[in-house]
Chains A and B, each alone.
Chain A
Amino acid sequence: MGFSLYQWADDRLKLKPIEQTLLDEPIPGGASWNYVFGSATLFLFVLQAITGMCLSIYYVPSPDHAYDTVQYIQNDVWFGWFIRGLHHWGASAVILAVGLHMLQVFFDGAYKRPREMMWMVGVVLLLLMLGFGFTGYLLPWDQNAYWATQVGINMAGTTPVIGDFLVRVLRGGDTLGALTLSRFFAIHVIILPAIIMVGIMLHLFILRRVGPAGPHDDARATQHSETFYPRQVYMDAVVMLIVFLIVATLAYAVEFPLADKADPSDHSFIPVPEWYFLFHYQLLKYAPGPLVPYASWALPALFILCLFALPFLDRNPERIPATRPRILGSGLAFLVAVFALLGVSLRDLYAVPKTDPAIANGQALVEKFACKTCHRIHGDGENIAPDLSYVADRRPEREWHIRHFKDPQSVSPGSFMPKFPLTDSQLNDLTSYVLTLKSGGHP
């Protein structure tokens, strides 16, 4: 049936020549596991596009609702946690895949003539990917999203002359708020996808016009070649399967909970950027006052510029790695610097257990409102009302505690707990503290 349908369409549309052009592309030197990184990147991009479309079914880009909708996706929609997990881990994976793809091209000297344009379009694609990462990070509208974006935007503000204006444009005004969220949403789901689609097509168009680079020495490349289909396609498929299994396993096994809802008044929150921005985040710690602008924008700008112009900076036509010690050495030096910074940053982050300041505030409120006049917490306090030592085991839902503090009888009829006059932030802090009262966890 499938075959005859293809025949039927082929009779009319003459598909055979197109099929041949697509599948019989000669690969110099034959198919190789070295060439899978581009396909893996494209696969992950498609996965991001599909999961992103799914998320947009329920997501609402407004400060009133963004957080609730993401929580709804996470907790209430069938497979919502899985789709969101795929999108979250897929974002990291696609950056990693782009990095490996670039490394392979860099190491093999595949950016050299006649493939300069393919490399340059590739660098633009990298920037677009980072743009996706930056704009997407804000959308869940939790504390981390809000404060990490605040820092990111302020970094753009160190650009000379246009810095302030740039910040106002990014934010859509004076403060990070409703207008920022909606423009980040539009950039993330409409503008960047449209641009990157053109970029990807251009990248592939150039590939097909120039052809793959193949082995380092021309003698071997011309000696023998192999069609793209079926062996390279098979290798690409195997790698896609591995990549998919890794991302799906992470989405399945590693929970990625939301932080608290964004609170613009809580300046004590310490945001952490995504791991692929961490090395730069660490670099900023070493830049003393007057050097900040250089570290925050000049250095990255210079690096991107060098990367973009690489095919013209490296004029050595030779592709064999052994004959290019200087350029490969500088690449290695860059990698060592990046991973050293990343390593130091990760060590710092995990050395100090991150505690939400809300928890400490909440603990102070327990004393302030004399909760222990009735409740006992880990042996301290009176035994009149329920023991709260492990209350989060019984009541893990934040929403329940908020409602309970606001009006105890509404969720626990017959309770004699009084209504305490709590402000919204006190309510949040107290709930954050109460939620730490569980077996295995202590504040």
Chain B
Amino acid sequence: MEVETPVSAQHHESGTSTPVGTRRSFFTRVTAIIASFIGISMAVPILGYVVAPAFHRRKKEWVPVSAIDDLPLHEPQALDYTVTIKDGWHETKSTKGVWAIKHSQDEVTVFSPICPHLGCGFRWDGQDRLFKCPCHGSIYDLKGSVQAGPAPRPLDSLPMKVENGQLMVIYKEFKSGLSEQVEL
């Protein structure tokens, strides 16, 4: 390929030339612009790619836990169900349990199974019709209000809805030992 002699070129003794003046600054500037363009075009996607998980909040999903017709009226039921937990690409199954009390076909109270006092699992005493925690003796009525014991707040109720005859729940956990409800 024929190489033209630079219009303005500085000649060394060895016969080596190098462009000078505006010609030189043109090459330098174009090179810098291209380098910046490629650099930015890569830096932006890479930054997004690396920080993406930091902006990802674990989604709380509605999970069907039981057919509404299977629940007896005014009688607390312990419902176990399986949820899929997504940790990035990693999926694990976990079994959760909740207490559900049906008041009518579309009105159900759902309680977290964890005692708000210090995190034990409470039970239903069918004879006394009270929830009783075996660890420290906290006692709650059907509405979840504290009847006795050291519990600082009522039972934690969970969001629920009835859809297509299915009771749907969002599982949540709360800090224990506090008088107000603080979600974990």
Residue of B nearest to A53 (CB): B46
A301 at the interface (CB under 8 A from B): no
Minimum Cβ distance to chain A for residue B89 (Å):
4
Q: Is the CB of B19 within 8 A of A230?
A: yes
A residues in contact with B16, CB < 8 Å: 24, 26, 225-227
Q: Is the CB of B28 within 8 A of A230?
A: yes
Q: Is the CB of B24 within 8 A of A83?
A: no
Q: A224-B17, A226-B18 are in contact. Are A65 and B164 (CB under 8 A)?
A: no
B34 at the interface (CB under 8 A from A): yes
Q: Is the CB of A31 within 8 A of B15?
A: no
Q: A32-B3, A58-B89 are in contact. Are A226 and B42 (CB under 8 A)?
A: no
Stretch at the interface among A74-82, A112-120, A312-320, A327-335: A74-82
Q: Could you tell me the distance between the alpha carbons of A225 and B30 in the complex, rounded to whole angstroms? A: 22
A residues in contact with B27, CB < 8 Å: 230-231, 233-234
Q: Is the CB of A244 within 8 A of B19?
A: no
Q: Is the CB of B18 within 8 A of A227?
A: yes
B166 at the interface (CB under 8 A from A): yes
Q: Could you tell me the distance between the alpha carbons of A50 and B17 in the complex, rounded to whole angstroms? A: 36
Q: Is the CB of A224 within 8 A of B1?
A: no
Instruction: Name which of A31, A54, A83, A231 has the most chain B CB atoms within 10 A of its CB.
Output: A231
Minimum Cβ distance to chain B for residue A60 (Å):
8
Q: Could you tell me the distance between the alpha carbons of A72 and B87 in the complex, rounded to whole angstroms? A: 11
A residues in contact with B145, CB < 8 Å: none
Question: Given B14, B17, B50, which contacts A54 in the complex, CB threshold below 8 Å?
Answer: B50
User: B160-184 interface mask toward A, CB cutoff 8 Å, 1 = contact, 0 = none?
Assistant: 0001111000000000000000000
Q: Is the CB of A24 within 8 A of B18?
A: yes
B149 at the interface (CB under 8 A from A): no
Q: Is the CB of B14 within 8 A of A71?
A: no
A362 at the interface (CB under 8 A from B): no
Size of A's binding interface in residues, CB under 8 A: 46
B residues in contact with A229, CB < 8 Å: 18
B127 at the interface (CB under 8 A from A): no
A residues in contact with B34, CB < 8 Å: 237-238, 240-241
Q: Could you tell me the distance between the alpha carbons of A224 and B102 in the complex, rounded to whole angstroms? A: 95
Minimum Cβ distance to chain A for residue B165 (Å):
7
B residues in contact with A223, CB < 8 Å: 15
Minimum Cβ distance to chain B for residue A24 (Å):
7
B residues in contact with A82, CB < 8 Å: 45
Q: Could you tell me the distance between the alpha carbons of A76 and B37 in the complex, rounded to whole angstroms? A: 26
B residues in contact with A224, CB < 8 Å: 3, 5, 15, 17
Minimum Cβ distance to chain B for residue A40 (Å):
13
Q: Could you tell me the distance between the alpha carbons of A96 and B117 in the complex, rounded to whole angstroms? A: 68
Q: Could you tell me the distance between the alpha carbons of A50 and B49 in the complex, rounded to whole angstroms? A: 12
Q: Could you tell me the distance between the alpha carbons of A240 and B37 in the complex, rounded to whole angstroms? A: 11
A residues in contact with B38, CB < 8 Å: 240-241, 244
B150 at the interface (CB under 8 A from A): no
Question: Given B14, B28, B166, which contacts A225 in the complex, CB threshold below 8 Å?
Answer: B14
- Near A by CB (< 8 A), chain B positions 72-93 give 88-90
Q: Is the CB of A29 within 8 A of B3?
A: yes
Residue of A nearest to B38 (CB): A244
- Near B by CB (< 8 A), chain A positions 224-272 give 224-227, 229-231, 233-234, 237-238, 240-241, 244, 248
B31 at the interface (CB under 8 A from A): yes
A383 at the interface (CB under 8 A from B): no
Question: Given A47, A57, A414, which contacts B165 in the complex, CB threshold below 8 Å?
Answer: A414
A residues in contact with B46, CB < 8 Å: 50, 54, 79, 83
Residue of B nearest to A225 (CB): B16
Residue of B nearest to A244 (CB): B38
A30 at the interface (CB under 8 A from B): yes
A413 at the interface (CB under 8 A from B): yes
Q: Is the CB of A234 within 8 A of B31?
A: yes
Q: Is the CB of A57 within 8 A of B37?
A: no
B residues in contact with A225, CB < 8 Å: 14-17
Minimum Cβ distance to chain B for residue A17 (Å):
16
Residue of B nearest to A82 (CB): B45
Q: A234-B27, A241-B38 are in contact. Are A413 and B164 (CB under 8 A)?
A: yes
Q: Is the CB of B88 within 8 A of A226?
A: no
B64 at the interface (CB under 8 A from A): yes
Some 17 contacts from A to B, beta carbons below 8 A apart, are A30-B5, A54-B49, A54-B50, A71-B89, A77-B53, A78-B45, A79-B46, A224-B3, A224-B15, A224-B17, A226-B18, A227-B16, A234-B28, A241-B37, A410-B64, A413-B163, A414-B166
> What are the nearest 10 A-B pairs in CB distance?
A72-B89, A230-B27, A414-B164, A79-B45, A30-B3, A234-B27, A78-B52, A78-B48, A227-B18, A237-B34
